[in-house]
Structure 1
């Protein structure tokens, strides 16, 4: 017999999962969060749930918000179960099932005016977001705010009724400023290098287009801390919903099956207070950059390294690739010779030990994380996770053979078929462009590097042009396996 997740059913669920110990009816909202996807609900929402279970921070509950069609579906699914989420955290030898209650409301995505009104309320002291790399209105090659983004231009044309997340934030900040209320802190929880700086630059740039004086105020008054976030969180499908029913007797429309590991490092710069999350394992520091660079280059760059060759070999899951001896050796050589040497020291962290822990995490078969999920949106992720390491390496005159191989495998993936001839369904917001360019690059690898909005100056660097061209030609002519072997054995590609 299964029990549906809801406020009324929590007592009946107590023998199936860990449930909130706090009275949600007495919670007050302190955070509006944009992008209520699986990662947010398995990460920030879990940390807050831990805090609330300690009897602390009950005025920091989450209100969900969003602007996409997917947000409407998420609101509907979560609303039907009083905004609870079942989290199944799985390690090789341990499984924990819990139901979180840290979200207490979700604003209708069709009502941006209500989002602005909520953000204008001084009780809201943090506006947080997980909107992926493509949601910041930035030029991927430069990292600067893109004032010509059509969505930004539309907001500027009718700023009384903004439709973008940043437009709604700025409209609310105007209202708070006029009322004499302090600005909320904007807390990015996306895997982007310098996510706080990028958020601040985007909001400041946008505000300056509205009114230069307002832009100057936003630049001075607004705090956007940098953060490093980490927890492998796959997409939820009917498979996970059925597993939850069958194995645990719980009915949840949007459960999450994820790894047990989680980490959150935050720059301690908040405008109007913050929840005491250090009580539940969050690390507050003066400078997030070393932690962030470590995670993005070793973990996210490592993800990019293994997902594309594994997908080309028709492997479904990340653990399939990590448990493949050849792909594992490629990963290890790439990390030790080309990635880790370009990661600055991190306080109290052994980088090789950190890498070994990542190997364990990637190899966790219980998670069921797919290569397709990790391969998604390479046009935004490669400039964040891979190409900055390439640029550092080129500037220092170091080899880029393995780093170029990452992007060459990505290019081959974008050609739209695996090595067996199986079709690869569209897997990038710019898939048509990526597919056409990747097919052209089979004959002329420079065609792929000519996408200057992605590769920037890297695409014109002779050493990288040579390394990428050799790698791509090898993948097409020799195949993935032989190309990997040649790289591992130190042979020319």
Structure 2
């Protein structure tokens, strides 16, 4: 028998399910968050739940928001259970479940007027976001905000009816400015290098298209702290819902399963105060850059390294990929030979220890993370997670054989067919373009590197082009298994 999750049912939950120890009705909003997905609910929302359980920060509860109609389904699920979420942490030894209550409302997605009204509420002092890499309107090759993007141009032409997160944020700031209300802090929680600066570029860049004086005001009065966030959090499926019901007796329409590990490093720059998150493990530092470079290159770059060979080998789960000696060997070699050497020192951190922890996290058999999820959106992720490392190695005159192979594996994956002949369904917002280019690259590898918006100067490097072409031709001639075998044996 299961218990349907709701506020009224909290005290009836099984004894092995933890739930909030604070009075939920006493919470008041302080943060509006765009992008209420699994990662946010397993990360920021959990830190806040810990804080509230400690009797602190009860005026910093979360209000959800979104810009897509597709987010309404998630909102409806959460509404039916009073905005509560069950978090299941799991590793090889055990699973544990807890219910979090740090979200107390969720504005109807794509309702611009309602969202702007909440943004103008003086109680909202932080606006945070997990909108994924593609939501920042960044030119992939330059890493700079693209003011000519059609969605940005549309918001610039109709600032009173914005459709993007940046447009909504700016509209909220405009209303606060007119009312003499202190502006909120804008806090990105996405896996993007210098995410605070990138967010500032987007908001200020859009403001510049509308009113230069407004842009100057935002630049002078709004804080955009950089952050580094980390927790492996797969998508929810019927598999997770069934495990939760069978093992914990909870009926939750949208639970989150995740690893026990979590990390949040945050610059202490806020416009109008912040919750005391240092009390629950958040690291506040003057400069996040060393931490984010470490994480993005070693962890996210490592994910890319295992994703595409595993995808070509028809491996479904990430932990299964780590059980394949060729994939795990490729990860270990590329990390030690080419990725970790390009990571600058990080305060109080041993990079080898950090990598070993990541290796263990990737191999966690209980997470159920899929290879397909790791392969998703390479056109946005590769320019952030892999290509900067290649650029650094080329500038230093150092070999790029392993990274060229990783890029060739991505290209081969985008062809849309595994080594066994199974069809790879579209797995990138730009899939049609990526597949067409991968098809052309089969006979002409240089075609792949002409995607200047992705590769930039790296694609024009003769050294990299030669290594890439050799790797791609080997993949087509011999397949992923034999190619990795040759690479690990030093024969590629």
> TM-score w.r.t. structure 2 length?
0.99
The separation in 2 between residues aligned to 1:156 and 1:219, in whole angstroms, is: 17
Cα gap change, 1:328/1:110 in structure 2, threshold over 3 Å: closer, same or farther?
closer
1:416 offset after TM fit, Å? 0.4
Question: What does the per-residue CA deviation read over 1:193-239, in whole Å, with 9 as the maximum and x for residues that have no partner?
Answer: 11111001111111111101111111122211110100000000111
Matches for 1:178-327 after TM superposition, within 5 Å: 178-327=178-327
The separation in 1 between residues aligned to 2:147 and 2:314, in whole angstroms, is: 40
1:449 offset after TM fit, Å? 0.8
Contact 1:233 1:257 survives alignment (8 Å): yes
The separation in 1 between residues aligned to 2:247 and 2:98, in whole angstroms, is: 14
Contact 1:63 1:104 survives alignment (8 Å): yes
Contact 1:438 1:448 survives alignment (8 Å): yes
List, as ranges, runs of 4+ consecutive aligned residues in structure 1 with deviation greater than 2 Å: none
Matches for 1:105-184 after TM superposition, within 5 Å: 105-184=105-184
Matches for 1:386-397 after TM superposition, within 5 Å: 386-397=386-397
Contact 1:16 1:249 survives alignment (8 Å): no
- Structure 2 partner of 1:398: 398
- Structure 2 partner of 1:385: 385
Secondary structure of the 1:92 match is coil
Contact 1:407 1:468 survives alignment (8 Å): yes
- Structure 1 partner of 2:339: 339
Cα gap change, 1:449/1:186 in structure 2, threshold over 3 Å: closer, same or farther?
same
The separation in 2 between residues aligned to 1:468 and 1:184, in whole angstroms, is: 46
Consecutive unaligned residues of structure 1, counting only runs of 5 or more, are none
- Structure 2 partner of 1:28: 28
The separation in 2 between residues aligned to 1:183 and 1:139, in whole angstroms, is: 28
Contact 1:240 1:255 survives alignment (8 Å): yes
Secondary structure of the 2:17 match is coil
The separation in 2 between residues aligned to 1:331 and 1:153, in whole angstroms, is: 41
Number of positions where the alignment pairs a residue of Structure 1 with one of Structure 2:
492
The separation in 1 between residues aligned to 2:192 and 2:439, in whole angstroms, is: 29
1:14 offset after TM fit, Å? 5.2
- Structure 2 partner of 1:355: 355
Contact 2:132 2:191 survives alignment (8 Å): yes
1:307 offset after TM fit, Å? 0.8
- Structure 2 partner of 1:447: 447
Question: What does the per-residue CA deviation read over 1:432-474, in whole Å, with 9 as the maximum and x for residues that have no partner?
Answer: 1111111111011111111111111111111111111111111
The separation in 2 between residues aligned to 1:70 and 1:281, in whole angstroms, is: 33
1:70 offset after TM fit, Å? 2.7
- C-alpha RMSD over aligned residues: 0.9
1:110 offset after TM fit, Å? 3.5
The separation in 2 between residues aligned to 1:469 and 1:402, in whole angstroms, is: 13
Secondary structure of the 2:443 match is coil
Contact 1:16 1:250 survives alignment (8 Å): no
Question: What does the per-residue CA deviation read over 1:406-431, in whole Å, with 9 as the maximum and x for residues that have no partner?
Answer: 11111110000110000011100111
The separation in 2 between residues aligned to 1:28 and 1:194, in whole angstroms, is: 30
Contact 2:14 2:248 survives alignment (8 Å): no
> TM-score w.r.t. structure 1 length?
0.99
1:169 offset after TM fit, Å? 0.4
Secondary structure of the 2:253 match is coil
